[in-house]
Structure 1
Amino acid sequence: MISFKNDYSEGALPAILQALADTNLIQQGGYGDDDYTQQAIELIHQKIGNTGAAIHLVSGGTQANLTFISSVLRPYESAIAATTGHIFHHETGAIEATGHKIETVFAKDGKLTPALIASVVDKVEAVHMPLPRLVYISNSTELGTHYMRAELIALYEYCQRKGLVLFLDGARLASGMQAGDIRYEDLTKYTDAFYIGGTKNGALIGEAIVINNPSLQDYFSYNLKMRGALLAKGRLLGIQFRALFKGDTYLSIGAYMNEMAGKLSAGIKEAGYEFLIASKTNQIFPVLPWKVIKALEKNYAFYVWQELDEEHAAIRLVTSWNTRAEAVEQFVMDLKACGQREK
């Protein structure tokens, strides 16, 4: 069985496993006060060009979203997200459980715009409705689309005018960045905070929360501890991010994943099939007949994303740091063979 189900089916980059083994018996401080975490933070500071950013390493994406959003919002404030946004669609009400409403807007491509945000902000009835304070976006999005630099700047400038916090979920940040023209320094300049995904980019676990806005940095560590996100063995996260941010490792993984997804897309198009949405990242959504889907499921793992009609559905295929070109080629060959049998 070959899996295109997600980008975390494998363990971790060999370099990360080796680094964990090499440092295993070296005694260090806990809760992030270890040499490896401090070195990782220094490397990230250098990449983003902002030594004033507060950087905190946590174990997962939901934890990153929960700890940051819950630390920013007052009890009567809400967050704005696309209906496909991870905090709304796939986090089991983690944000709502803290007492904060998520205001959702439909975005066909999964990307928010100033106009879509305004459709929520402009309808707020003072005192009688939750007050929107934070805008949540993802790059890449849950639909495999990505933001361009101009789009990010437009969002940030709108949020600045309206007194909103712009927070970017970077679970698949390397893939999103490599698909477009956003660079590390843009994330520093045009978000109040973002996080750098490790789990879906070759790490065993781990995300790095980067808080650019100084007014949001104070006492954040207290919220981490309260939410169970401050790990005694924080070194395990530090070692991994140190490995990811040496040289160009992090972004090169994103480029590789996108390349494999691009090969998949080209083969699927060649086989005569269309896509639910255009994507240049490591998530693609081909539309296939049910008969073909059932045949492929015998040898491949993937999600059926959306049922379109009685005969067709969109599936999600995801490539990872370890996706082999041979696996891509085999999938395309089998797809073509299934298509021929269907005819």
Structure 2
Amino acid sequence: MPATSLCQDETCPPYSLMDDYSEGAHPQILEALLRTNSTQQVSYGGDEYSDAARQLIREKIDCAEDEADIFFVPSGTSANLISIASCLRPYEAVITLESGHIACKEAGAIEATGHKLILVPPVDGKMTTTNLQKSLQQNQFFPHMAKPRLLYISNASETGTVYTKRELTNLSAVCKQNNLLLLMDGARIGTALCSKKNDMTLRDIFDFVDIFWIGGTKAGALMGEAIVVKKHLAEGFVFHLKQHGALLAKGRILGVQFMELFRDDLFFTLAGHANAMAEKISANFEYLGHELAVETATNQVFVILPQNLVRRLQDRFRFYTWEQLDDGRVVVRIVTSWATDEMQVDKFNAWVAQWTAAAKDFSV
């Protein structure tokens, strides 16, 4: 578990609940990097640590080597960009939610490869079969429209919700019926799998999608994501890594981290901690009568607050202002991580309780 912060008085800088990558890496990962540092290894991901990490990941998925290849890349944007660019022709398009990471957080990286994004409104942060089918019907005027070829989803979603097995089964069925590939962005797949709302295993995800990736950056690693590609799409994938600058000479750095994350279930332990801290914050808001904008399922809390309370909290904590509502209230996003200090969570909850009790009303 994370160490307690050494700085506890009011002169400390605000404690960050902004994201799940403000800290460096879990101590076990740093120790593993130091322990293996002086060994000489094959470059470009051919090292023994990357091979061991691939085997450990396959064991967690319960898939054989001839079912999937696994590739390590440095970032989530590179994982999405390379996964999509590797399997689409120039005239083929990606269906994604309006809130999808590739649509609003990656500086047009997918469009820069020449692929149109077809935007669909989310429902509870997720893609539905109804909206997917509607999008397909609206994009059939060929050859005058880009041809839908891939569905992109995130689990957990951008608002922290998770797909159920039934939802993913149904989406997968629609994709197969319409010759669509299915890609799952797994930046926060650890917190999704550890959610109390989750009813899927890694094997379930593997069965229903064509490509997915396992996020390390937001799960205690210094950096890195592991892309799991089914064999029918894996041929030549490494060339796409190279062309997009993601094939690291010192690929061992990524391999060591994923080896450590999956060697003794550290990956799931850290994700569980992040979820538990978010649940504690969310429960306190609900107890005090504040409205959640989204039901908390993973490590992201979306809550509607009066501006005066937001301003007071920002004196001591950092978090993201998500949306300004017409009534003057604000939706804020609070994100916990593998390293979130429970003592700081308790302090945050105490301040919320104190200022809520002291307020005569929640007017702005």
Query: TM-score of the superposition, structure 1-length normalised?
Result: 0.98
Kindly provide the CA deviation profile for residues 208-250 of structure 1, in whole angstroms up to 9, marking residues without a partner as x. Answer: 00012x2211101001000000000000000000000112221
- Name the CA distance, whole Å, in 1 between partners of 2:32 and 2:154: 30
Match of 1:3 among 8, 16, 19: 16
Match of 1:279 among 296, 300, 303: 296
Q: Which amino acid aligns with 1:283?
A: Q
Matched, 1:204 2:217: no
**1:249 corresponds to which residue?**
266
Alignment of 1:1-343 (within 5 A): 1-51=14-64, 52-123=67-138, 124-179=140-195, 180-212=198-230, 214-343=231-360
Once the 2 structures are TM-superposed, how far is the Cα of residue 135 of structure 1 from its aligned partner? 0.2
Q: Secondary structure at the match of 2:145?
A: coil
Q: Secondary structure at the match of 2:183?
A: strand
Instruction: Give the number of equivalent residue pairs.
Output: 342
Q: Which amino acid aligns with 1:74?
A: R
- Name the CA distance, whole Å, in 1 between partners of 2:130 and 2:207: 21
Once the 2 structures are TM-superposed, how far is the Cα of residue 253 of structure 1 from its aligned partner? 1.6
Kindly provide the CA deviation profile for residues 159-205 of structure 1, in whole angstroms up to 9, marking residues without a partner as x. Answer: 11111000000000010111111101101111101000000000000
Taking every aligned residue pair, what percent have the same amino acid on both sides? 43
Instruction: Say whether the 8 Å CA contact 2:129–2:174 is kept in structure 1.
Output: yes
Kindly provide the CA deviation profile for residues 88-138 of structure 1, in whole angstroms up to 9, marking residues without a partner as x. Answer: 010000000001111011013111122111111112212110000000000
Q: Secondary structure at the match of 1:154?
A: helix
Structure 2 stretches lacking a partner, 5+ long? 1-13
Q: Secondary structure at the match of 1:336?
A: helix
Runs (4 or more) in structure 1 with deviation over 6 Å come to none
Instruction: Say whether the 8 Å CA contact 1:40–1:241 is kept in structure 2.
Output: yes
Once the 2 structures are TM-superposed, how far is the Cα of residue 310 of structure 1 from its aligned partner? 4.8
Q: Secondary structure at the match of 1:141?
A: coil
Instruction: Say whether the 8 Å CA contact 1:291–1:342 is kept in structure 2.
Output: no
- Name the CA distance, whole Å, in 2 between partners of 1:221 and 1:196: 17
Over the aligned positions, Cα root-mean-square deviation in angstroms equals: 0.9
Once the 2 structures are TM-superposed, how far is the Cα of residue 342 of structure 1 from its aligned partner? 2.8
Instruction: Say whether the 8 Å CA contact 1:303–1:315 is kept in structure 2.
Output: yes
Kindly provide the CA deviation profile for residues 297-337 of structure 1, in whole angstroms up to 9, marking residues without a partner as x. Answer: 01100000011125201100011011122111111111122
Q: Which amino acid aligns with 2:241?
A: L
